[in-house]
Amino acid sequence: MIALVTGGSRGIGFGVAKALAKSGYDVVITGRRAGADVAPALQQLKDCGVGAEYVAADVSSKSDRQSLLETIEKHFGKLNVLVNNAGIAPRVRADVLEASEDSFDELISVNLKGPYFLTQMIARWMILQKNTDSAFRGCIINIGSISATVASVTRGEYCISKAGIAMATRLWAVRLAEFGIAVYEIRPGIIATDMTAAVKSKYDALIAGGLLLEKRWGTPDDVGKAAAMLARGDLPYASGSALILDGGLTLPRL
């Protein structure tokens, strides 16, 4: 079984890649960094006793997406799981009254357009694999965010990109159902990664003040365990679902 995790060399993506490797999946991870910078993460995956490869690729680039697919076809010949994890935060947090079009375009290109069309490419390949082998099992997992529904006026473009991912999950779940390819969304809350390091003190205080039901930061491993469960098929009869991992942040309370 082969899994592709975009942005899989660090943060949530690495947590997902590790969990899949521990479940016996050979793993392909992507990112923008040089191969030498990713070598330690790649070795950790290989230490799980599986195959692991890194492909430098920018999901917002059509040519990079095509090259990525060709590389996986050449080296592995198949793909069972796609995890659309690669994403970025705004370079500068700006109020929606002040945010720039350049920032909006960059966020939408990386966080929404890239995974949407990568899914299109890989879904077509998965259909071919299913038509060739009736036993083939495919799964697509989108890493979204509670920002799909929780408004943050200093990160408007990020929220919109994640709201788009939520709808993309539903669209692909409907379209791929006839082929038995399940599509899910994982919607993390406050996760301890390099992306959230700059706001650590803010959220430390909010968590201590009762923001969450589970009074701790989420971890990439939390998300990884959920992704591996979905990839293995341990949550049947649920294609199109969004799995919320936010420690109770979005649970309405009086």
In three-state secondary structure terms, 107 is helix
Q: Concatenate the DSSP letters of all residues of 170-227 into one string.
A: HHHHHHHGGGT-EEEEEEE-SB-STTTGGGHHHHHHHHHTTS-SS-S-B-HHHHHHHH
Handedness of CA 30, 36, 38, 42 (dihedral sign): positive
Out of 25, 54, 158, 184, which one is annotated catalytic?
158
* Model pLDDT, residue 17: 98
- pLDDT digit string (tens) for the chain, length 254 residues: 999 999 999 999 999 999 999 999 999 999 998 888 999 999 999 999 999 999 999 999 999 999 999 999 999 999 999 999 999 999 999 999 999 999 999 999 999 999 999 999 999 999 999 999 999 999 999 999 999 999 999 999 999 999 999 999 999 999 999 999 999 999 999 999 988 878 899 999 999 999 999 999 999 999 999 999 999 999 999 999 999 999 999 999 98
Considering the entire predicted model, what is its pTM? 0.95
* Model pLDDT, residue 199: 84
Sorted by where each begins, the domain ranges of the chain are 2-245
* Model pLDDT, residue 35: 82
Give residues with Cβ within 8 angstroms of 59, minimum separation 6: 6, 7, 30, 65, 84, 86, 110, 114, 115, 118
* Model pLDDT, residue 235: 96
The answer to whether 158 is a known catalytic residue is: yes
**Domain 2-245, what fold?**
Rossmann fold (3.40.50)
Strand partners, 82: 4, 140
